[in-house]
Amino acid sequence: MNTTHVKLSPAVLLAFVLLLCNLSAIARPQEKIKKKEISQSYSVSAGDRLQVENRYGNITVTHWNQNTVAIRVEVECKARSEERAQENLDRIQIETKKIGGIVSAVTTIKKEMNSNSNNESMTINYYIQMPPKLAADLNQKYGNINLPSDNNGNMDIHVKYGNLNAGNFTANAMIEAKYGNIEVGNLQDAQLDLGYVGTAKIRNAKDLTIDSKYSNLDIQDIQSLRMEIKYGNLTIESVSRLDMEIKYSDAKIGTLKDALNVSSLSYSNLKIRNLSPSFSKVNVESHYGNLEVALPAKTSFRIVAENMKYSSCDVNGFNITRKHFDDEDRDKNYTYEINGGKQPTIHFEGNRYGNLKVKAN
């Protein structure tokens, strides 16, 4: 049986590939695009406030030295046909107005696209110019909020399924972020509500209150932090005062300058790489949690570890001038005086299953 092999030239192969591409392009409907733009400006004065609510796009804010808020909205809809793209465009309404001292801009979509709306999309982008000190409430869902390098007015920010990119906040700030990432510069007085945030980066802060769930935080330097964290990770390079609840999480602190109070270290790990020799107190209550602390070998202080029945208490690298061990009431209690110190104190409540390690660095 004879078999004939046909060898195609490169030119023929190229022509065949191009033919397949052209047939695919012919079979696929061409994408149609419809656009519209809305622009409006309002005069503002000290004490006024901006409110924006948007979906499926971004809010981008810039500052200028005018007592005016300028709002420009670009809307774009894509679909398989011009008729369908226009229908989607007509469903999107942008309402801007000023009532009293409130300038508002709200996106309304009359009917959401259904599950059969294949190859259809909408993008609604806000571009806002405003005075640097104007207070603002910004709400963005399915998109990002982009702010200038310095924000001097009170800010209330809500972003879901998107990212927050911002510079410094010199006034009060409330930030709610869900299912995205945030990166900000310096904060003065701020409250953060975080949920499923992949990465939250904060450069420096004066006074922070944070409620974090399923999120990861990275803070460079902070003076005072009150925080509850669940199912996440926390890294702080330097902090003065901490008041925390840590549950099912890992927390790492570079330098702790003053005081730490952890009301619940539950199924979690807390590591302090460098505790200042001038610290005032460390109080930690553990529920199946582990605490590791390192501080200079010549520091004068005391360690009290209570209810350590099934726990470990490891102290090494110091001049231990007095050690007391008590296990008369079923729960083991340890007291160490380091370099003759009676104060300040590292106090650890083990609740039978928490572990403590204190070492010299």
- Closest among 193, 188, 241, 240 to 217, alpha carbons compared: 193
- Give pLDDT, residue 327: 75
- With cut-offs at 50, 70 and 90, classify the pLDDT of residue 274: very high
- With cut-offs at 50, 70 and 90, classify the pLDDT of residue 19: low
Q: Taking residues 187-200, what's their average pLDDT?
A: 98
Q: Would residue 88 be called left, alpha or beta, if left means φ above 0 and alpha means ψ between -120 and 50 degrees?
A: alpha
What mean pLDDT is reported for the chain?
93
- With cut-offs at 50, 70 and 90, classify the pLDDT of residue 25: very low
- Give pLDDT, residue 180: 98
- Give pLDDT, residue 328: 64
Q: Taking residues 3-30, what's their average pLDDT?
A: 55
pLDDT digits (tens, 9 = 90+) for 282-311: 999 999 999 999 999 999 999 999 999 999
Q: Taking residues 47-54, what's their average pLDDT?
A: 98
What whole-number distance in Å separates Cα of residue 261 and Cα of residue 305? 15
For 340, half-sphere exposure in the C-beta direction (CA atoms, 13 angstrom radius) is 0
Please check the confidence at residue 331 and state whether its pLDDT lies above 50.
yes
- With cut-offs at 50, 70 and 90, classify the pLDDT of residue 326: confident
DSSP-derived secondary structure letter, 118? T
Please check the confidence at residue 120 and state whether its pLDDT lies above 70.
yes
Q: Alpha carbon of 71 to those of 34, 45, 119, 226, 321: distances in Å? A: 20, 16, 29, 37, 69
What are the structure tokens assigned to 141, written together? 């869902």
Q: Are 306 and 314 in contact (CB under 8 A)?
A: no
pTM: 0.88
- Give pLDDT, residue 239: 99
- With cut-offs at 50, 70 and 90, classify the pLDDT of residue 8: low
What whole-number distance in Å separates Cα of residue 181 and Cα of residue 202? 11
Q: Taking residues 137-163, what's their average pLDDT?
A: 98
How much of the chain, in percent, has pLDDT values that exceed 90?
86
- Extents of the domains making up the chain: 236-361
